[in-house]
Amino acid sequence: MQVVTAKTAGFCFGVRRAVETCYDQSSKAQGKVYTYGPIIHNEMVVRDLEARGISVIRSKQELEELKEGTVIIRSHGVEKEICDLIGKQGLKMVDATCPFVKKIHKIVREKSEEGFQIVVIGSREHPEVEGICGWSVTPVTVIENEQQASAFVRENDKPLCIVSQTTFNSKKFDKLVEILHLLRYDRDCILNTICNATEERQKEAAELAGKADVMIVIGGKNSSNTQKLFEICKEKCSQTYYIQTLADLDLSLLPSVGYVGITAGASTPYNLIEEVSKQCRK
């Protein structure tokens, strides 16, 4: 049996940077340290950080109750309102928002101020999308599927500024833009802000799944980029399994001969990917 791990499996640049920021703050920050939301969709990492004194704030109300300490913003970013609140409460903010997400905040801020109608292609419930919407000075439309794109109505004669959640599927993005483009308007500004890390991971996963007899996708159950990877792999390889930890790996499902492909979402630590790979080879 051949076991091949995708080169792009695991932490991307932005997630690695955010996790390293936490470990760095756990040793040097004065006073209590918090992350606004779990730093990544990985329970093992979140528990390890808790053991090092970093707690998770889960809501705006919890933030409003804090009187001191350091708040780390995760790679997904947050609404402007949250940054302002941290300042107002007299807390220290350490911003680990991924620079690629920060760039979208800037675009949305500027374009909304210039009078563009902002459209975000992505999942409304995703924290990154909530954060992006929170930088616009005008209401934002979030479009996730073809039905919503077809039902979209342009506000008066406003030009559109279309951006994407960084982890959105690039093919779906093109399709939704195509539908919105039926309402073509010369001054529209269409920006594919899907991060390369996601595209490359998705592309490599599809290639690997196309060759594999069994495909294993590793990642937290709440990780949207892992869920998307799973969808992509499942299309190419019917025997695709989604696991969160080594304990979820059912070795009886692996072929005795053939090809096993492994990929992992952006929040999956390298050591877990290694453990799964080793276990498959046994």
Q: Are 74 and 39 in contact (CB under 8 A)?
A: yes
* 128 carries an active-site annotation: yes
| Shortest Cβ 196–ligand SF4 spacing (Å) | 7
| Shortest Cβ 212–ligand SF4 spacing (Å) | 23
- What DSSP state is assigned to residue 116? P
| Shortest Cβ 201–ligand SF4 spacing (Å) | 8
3-state secondary structure of 3: strand
Q: Which is nearer to ligand SF4, 127 or 261 (CB)?
A: 127
3-state secondary structure of 106: helix
Q: Which is nearer to ligand SF4, 78 or 91 (CB)?
A: 78
Closest CA to 97 of 89, 113, 86: 86
Residues in touch with ligand SF4 (CB under 6 A): 12-15, 75, 98, 100-101, 166-167, 195, 197-198, 266
Closest CA to 7 of 166, 194, 195, 208: 208
3-state secondary structure of 36: strand
Q: Which of 65, 113, 128, 178 is catalytic?
A: 128
Closest-by-Cβ residue to ligand SF4 is 14
Q: Which is nearer to ligand SF4, 99 or 139 (CB)?
A: 99
| Shortest Cβ 15–ligand SF4 spacing (Å) | 5
Q: Which is nearer to ligand SF4, 75 or 123 (CB)?
A: 75
Q: Token pair for residue 282?
A: 């046994």
Interatomic CA distance for residues 206 and 208, integer angstroms: 6
Active centre residues (catalytic): 128
